[in-house]
Amino acid sequence: MLTTPCCNPLPTGFSDCVRDSVVSTFACIIGEDPLRESGPPDAAFDGMMGVISFVGTRPWSLLLGLPRSTAEKFAVRFVGFEMDFEGADMVDTVGELANIIAGDVTARLEGIDMHVQMGMPSVARGSHLEIALPDSVESFFQGFSTSDGPFWIRVATPRSDGSGVRRHLCPACGHEV
């Protein structure tokens, strides 16, 4: 396999860019710096998840997980009024929160020479939500806590070693990966 920029592991500093974007974004919205927590939630949760995928130097996806009570409190701080958790406004709000983080991450990644374009946000809402990732995907988790409740970010990307991944042509460079 040829080694090209699009086929390399995530660059040094990538997780710092994600963390710094989350902290600065939510500090502006909720008026406090979210504190880092360790480990993913122990079980599935009731709430919402905003998802945005990226293409470019390396494909990856960002998932913003918000338990129901955290989503409701963040929504009030973000838009200035209460909204129905089951309503379309809440979906739009969580999608926009994920979009703002993604935009900030995109700008920060340019600083470490990782060029990406973000897609449209998608939002999942429900009970007993969990993200089940296939073996061909590696991910890292960053948990946070605030006075409004916990939330987390998960980043998922194809494995850099190719294990469990069907061979295909890289869309950025045309090499087999």
Confidence tier at 163 by pLDDT (50, 70, 90): low
Residue labelled with tokens 């913003």: 64
Distance of alpha carbon 84 from alpha carbon 68, whole angstroms: 11
Identify residue 40 by its one-letter amino acid code: P
**Which of 17-21, 68-72, 74-78, 138-142 has the lowest average pLDDT?**
138-142
Average of per-residue pLDDT across 10-34: 92
| Structure-derived torsion over alpha carbons of residues 34, 40, 46, 50, reported in degrees to the nearest 10 | 70
Residue labelled with tokens 């009731």: 46
Alpha-helical runs (H) found in 6-144: 14-30, 68-79, 88-110
Residue labelled with tokens 């200035």: 80
Distance of alpha carbon 166 from alpha carbon 177, whole angstroms: 8
pTM of the model: 0.83
Domain residue spans of the chain: 5-158
The CATH architecture assigned to 5-158 reads 3-Layer(aba) Sandwich (3.40)
Q: What is the pLDDT of residues 95-148, one digit of tens each?
A: 999 999 999 999 999 999 888 999 999 999 999 888 888 888 888 888 999 999
CB 49 within 8 Å of CB 156: no
pLDDT of residue 5: 40
Q: Which residues sit opposite 118 in a β-bridge? A: 54
